[in-house]
Amino acid sequence: MSATTTTPPRAPAAKRATDTRRTLEKGPSGWLAVPALAFFMLFAILPLLGVLFLSFTRWDGLGEIKLDGLSSWNTVLADPVTGNALLVTAKIMFFSFIVQAPISLLLGVFTAASQKYRAALAVLYFVPLLLSSAAVAIAFKALLDPNFGLGPGLGLPLLAQDWLGNSDLVLFVVVFVIAWQFVPFHTLIYQGGVRQIPASLYEAAQIDGAGRIQQFFNITLPQLKYTMITSSTLMVVGSLAYFDLVFVLTAGGPGYSTRLLPLHMYLTGFKANDMGAASALGVILVVIGLALALFLQRLGGKNRNASQLEGA
Amino acid sequence: MNSLKLRTAGMAVSAAALSISLVACGSSGPAGTGASADSATMWGLTGGDQPVFQASVDSWNKAHPDSAIKLDFFANDAYKTKVRTAVGAGQGPTLVYGWGGGVLKSYVDAGQVDDLTGFLKDNPDVQGRYLPSILESGVIDGKTYALPNNKVQPVVLYYNKEVFEKIGAEPPKTWDELMALVPKFKDAGVAPFSLGGQSKWPDLMWLEYLVDRIGGPEVFANIAANKPDAWSDPAVIEALTKIQELVDAGGFINGFSSIAADSNADQALLYTGKAAMILQGSWIYQGMKKDAADFVSSGKLGYTPFPTVEGGKGDPANVVGNPSNFWSVSSKATEEQKKTALEYVKDGMFNDENVQSLIDSGAVPVVTGIEDKLAASPDKDFLTYVYGMAKDAPDFTLSWDQALSPAQGDAMLANLDQIFLKKITPEQFASTMNATIGK
């Protein structure tokens, strides 16, 4: 009632209530989105249009920018290295998902419980999150060195493989190092998701006689549906952006074995100095990224706006 | 003006959109006395010369507080990318560090560096101090755009004398001897050759020397002159075949394609005795002198010219490598900055102090009249060897990746990497590279 006393006399309480209700229904004023939108236009849409324009030109980064029709696109699409880069990207995406998703789900469930030792372990698990990709890459490069690394150092022939120089092994090494770095992040997401699940569901299941495994599959997993979609989207779309780690670890090599699409774009633009072709690759990258993100959001189903906690 | 605006906008766009996280691991030296935002700037490379440049600029800044120079250092591969992007955006340093050749030509074509011919004419002392053949590498179309700034860098075949003594071998004089040594070292559990294959440019030294020994310097001269099908020259095919034979024989150390030369891991393999030989630039002597002082000072480091190839046309005294590194002056710098830069080049560089500190670091400065100083150095054996090698070479071929245009150089390194990995044949290499001629 104190609110009504400060209200000017010409705005009766009834009208204010309607206003509040309208705000709740329609959401806050559209003007609130302006700063974010302005930044998005300036730093995302505008450069994107610029890249689209550059993809129709020929430019070495120094001289004149020459309009050149579709020739950059022809170069890029006819180049077998582009196809290979797409394949490598798809492989890394697939294996990264297969490795990271189950591990981070299980770790997330494990660390969500409140025992002290779990909290201590959780802190250890999250350490890689604090390290920069370049530092992680340099550390692993030193550990995996076939002559001075961990294997030869400890005299363990099993660990003394040519991890980064063998075209068949290197992809899995990259997947492993990426997982080492990013599993903690997804664990954190799952941990938060699990902690949101109401305890009453588990209590009810216990009364009905459901065991641990049954509870996991029938309560935890279904309740984590939207967490999974979020985490998977980040994992899959994020794997289109792996660059720094792979660049420092292998520089795309040996040969083209770990030349991911973003790395291929960078090397084309800044090593071969072909900005036109690099821009065309950039456009391809954006299109694939958007398509994947949309597809994963669709997986949420038609009722994705419905409450997760119904019946809780 | 319009095209300039367009270019600047284009650079900004590609920098924002493409550089997800550009490797810009610059390390600033100690803040120079009196260096301000308007000071002339200089970008150098980390490694053997870093303390030499730092000392030279420090003493310059102490003596000229009003025209101080700000100096930054970058790792080799990161520098090559960064400086080009910066120069293209008009944000380059006043003094641009370079290698001459095709990359310099692309700066000249874009009008990014100043013509220094007039400066040389006004300062005959500067012109007179250089070895003439080396000054030539900074000349494009009859005009000088770059002045040598450090040391001669021929590529040398280094070997570990201790390892050689252990199996009773002599350094190879011919390619056949070299191939015969491979199984001997493998039996002794030592890799015959170390190689920084991940950096790709060390691979190139093998191709450069083999092509020169087999076909002479004309073969690459034709390639550099963009003659059609120049890459299909039989000498190129034979050189690539020989490289693949050496790979097949297990000549290169296990995991060579993941070893980066920028971290000096390749030379560490030599002085730790894990590899018997390495083909590298004379600059790694500076690195080994610092990282493995005992190995160098106790005379365990051997060096020899690249072996001859039977029936080859090239003079065995021919040399490949970098005649020197160079300073170019950015055309986008202010008049004040340019003045400082040129005064430094005239008086601060290659003065007695600078020449001596280069020699002390284990390098041969590119100036005349230093025989006495070299002979007085504790590294005199190596330094006089390198000096003689560079001075007496009938032909000194500039590293191909620097001599060619950047696009062609990059394609060549990528394809040569594939040759070392045996993913393509010499003929495939030649036809792919022929397609890049003129690009």
Residues B88, A274: C-beta atoms closer than 8 Å: no
Nearest CA in chain B to A60: B407
Nearest residue of A to residue B104, measured between CA atoms:
A62
> Tokens standing for B250?
């297990």
| Chains A, B: CB pairs < 8 Å | 145
- Cα separation, A26 vs A29, in Å, equals 8
> Are B397 and B212 within 8 A, CB to CB?
yes
In this prediction, residue B18 carries a pLDDT of 45
Determine the average pLDDT of the residues in B53-68. Answer: 90
Percentage of residues of chain B with pLDDT beyond 70: 92
- Inter-residue contact B70 to B40 (CB < 8 Å): yes
- Beta carbons of B383 and B364 less than 8 angstroms apart: yes
CA atoms within 13 A on the CB side of A233: 17
What does the pLDDT average to over B244-257? 93
Helix then strand then coil, in percent of chain B rounded to 5, is 55, 15, 30
* Contact of B132 with B79, CB cutoff 8 Å: no
The residues, any chain, with a CB within 8 Å of residue B330's CB and separated by 6 or more, are B87, B92, B93, B94, B95, B96, B112, B113, B114
ipTM for this prediction: 0.80
Which stretch, A57-61, A293-297, B229-233, has highest mean pLDDT? Answer: B229-233
**Of A142, A144, A296, nearest to A233 (Cα)?**
A296
Q: Identify the band that residue B31 occupies on the pLDDT scale cut at 50, 70 and 90.
A: very low
Which of A60, A65, A258 is best to mutate for the B interface (most B CBs within 10 A)? A60
Q: Bridge partners of B280?
A: B156
Rounded distance between C-alpha atoms, residue B199 and residue A268, angstroms: 16
**Mean pLDDT value across residues A285-298:** 88
Lowest mean pLDDT among A105-114, A122-131, B7-16: B7-16
Among the partner-chain residues A163, A262, A272, the one whose CB lies closest to the CB of B411 is A272
What pLDDT does residue B37 have?
67
- Cα–Cα distance for residue pair A206/B97, rounded to 1 Å: 73
Of A65, A147, A167, the CB nearest to B269: A147
pLDDT of amino acid A165:
84
Q: How many CA atoms lie within 13 A of B50 on its CB side?
A: 16
- DSSP, collapsed to helix, strand or coil, labels residue B350 as coil
Which of residues B47 and B384 earns the better pLDDT score? B384
pLDDT at A178 over 80: yes
- Is A242 an interface residue toward B (CB < 8 Å)? no
Instruction: Evaluate whether A198 touches A309 at the Cβ level (below 8 Å).
Output: yes
Peptide bond into A157 cis (omega under 30): no
pLDDT at B1: 40
Per-residue confidence (pLDDT) for residue B144, from 0 to 100: 93
What sign does the CA torsion over A26, A29, A35, A41 have?
positive
Q: Which residues of A touch B20 (CB under 8 A)?
A: 241, 243-244, 262, 266
At A12 the pLDDT is: 54
CA–CA distances in Å: residue B250 to residues A167, A197, B181, B184, B192? 17, 59, 11, 11, 8
Instruction: Give A120's Cβ-side CA count (13 Å radius).
Output: 3
Tell whether the model's pLDDT for residue A7 goes beyond 50. no
Q: Contact B239/B186 with Cβ under 8 angstroms? A: no
- The answer to whether the CB of B190 falls within 8 A of the CB of B274 is yes
Quick check: B327 pLDDT over 90?
yes
Q: Would you say residue B228 has pLDDT above 50? A: yes
Residue of B nearest to A79 (CA): B432
Q: Does A175 touch chain B (CB under 8 A)?
A: no
Q: How confident is the model at residue A18 (pLDDT cuts 50, 70, 90)?
A: low
pLDDT at A278: 92
| Stretch B82-104: mean pLDDT | 89
Least confident of B8-17, B194-203, B338-347: B8-17
Put simply, the answer to whether B20 touches A279 (Cβ < 8 Å) is no
* Length of chain B in terms of residues written: 439
| A92 close to A264: Cβ distance less than 8 angstroms | no
**Averaged pLDDT, A60-82:** 86
Q: Distance between CA B256 and CA A146 in Å, rounded?
A: 9
pLDDT (0 to 100) of residue B7: 53
Residues of chain B in contact with residue A167, where contact means CB-CB under 8 angstroms, are: 421
- Chain B residue whose CA is closest to A55: B14
Distance from CA of A196 to the nearest CA of B (A): 34
Check A282 against B18: CB less than 8 A apart: yes
Distance set, CA B397 to CA B145, B402, B426 (Å): 19, 11, 22
Supply the mean pLDDT for chain A: 84
Could you give the dihedral angle defined by the CA atoms of residues A66, A72, A75 and A79, in that order, rounded to the nearest 10 degrees? Answer: 130
Chain B nearest C-alpha distance from A214 (Å): 44
- Return the higher-pLDDT residue of A214 and A11: A214
- Among A160, A226, A12, smallest CA distance to B254 is for A160
B259 contacts chain A (CB < 8 A):
yes
CA–CA separation, B117 vs B139, rounded Å? 9
Quick one: pLDDT band at residue A252, thresholds 50, 70, 90?
A: confident
With an 8 Å Cβ cutoff, are A162 and B255 in contact?
A: yes
- A146 to chain B, any CB pair closer than 8 A? The answer is yes
As a whole number, mean pLDDT of residues B137-146 equals: 90
Percent of chain A at pLDDT above 90? 35
- Answer yes or no: is pLDDT of B83 > 60: yes
Residue A6 has pLDDT above 50, yes or no: no
B327, containing H or E segment: strand B326-329
Note whether B78 contacts A: Cβ–Cβ < 8 A.
no
| pLDDT, position A15 | 58
Mapped onto helix, strand or coil, the DSSP state of residue B369 is coil
Residue contact B406–A63, C-beta within 8 A: no
Å between A165 CA and nearest CA of chain B: 5
In terms of pLDDT, which residue wins out, A261 or A10? A261
- How many Å lie between the alpha carbon of B330 and the closest alpha carbon of chain A? 13
R_g (Cα) of chain A, nearest Å: 26
Span of A6-20, B29-43, B342-356, B376-390 with lowest mean pLDDT: A6-20
- Provide mean pLDDT across the span A89-117: 91
To the nearest whole Å, the CA of A298 is away from the closest chain B CA by 28
B390 close to B152: Cβ distance less than 8 angstroms: yes
**Would you tell me which residues 294-353 of chain B have a C-beta closer than 8 angstroms to some C-beta of chain A?**
none
Q: Say whether residue A50 is in contact with chain B using an 8 A CB cutoff.
A: yes
Contacts of A267 in chain B (CB under 8 A): 410
pTM for this predicted structure: 0.82
Average pLDDT, chain B: 87
Cα separation values, A103 from A189, A300, B255, Å? 12, 22, 31
Binning pLDDT at 50, 70 and 90, where does residue B71 land? Answer: very high
Q: How far, in Å, CA of B307 to CA of A67, rounded?
A: 49
Q: What is the DSSP letter of B113?
A: B
> What's the rounded mean pLDDT across residues B199-211?
95
Mean per-residue pLDDT for A281-308?
77
Rounded CA-CA distance B151/B45 in Å is 13
DSSP B399: P
Shortest Cα distance from B430 to chain A (angstroms)?
Answer: 17
> Which token pair is B439?
């690009």
Check CB contact under 8 Å for B253 and A147: yes
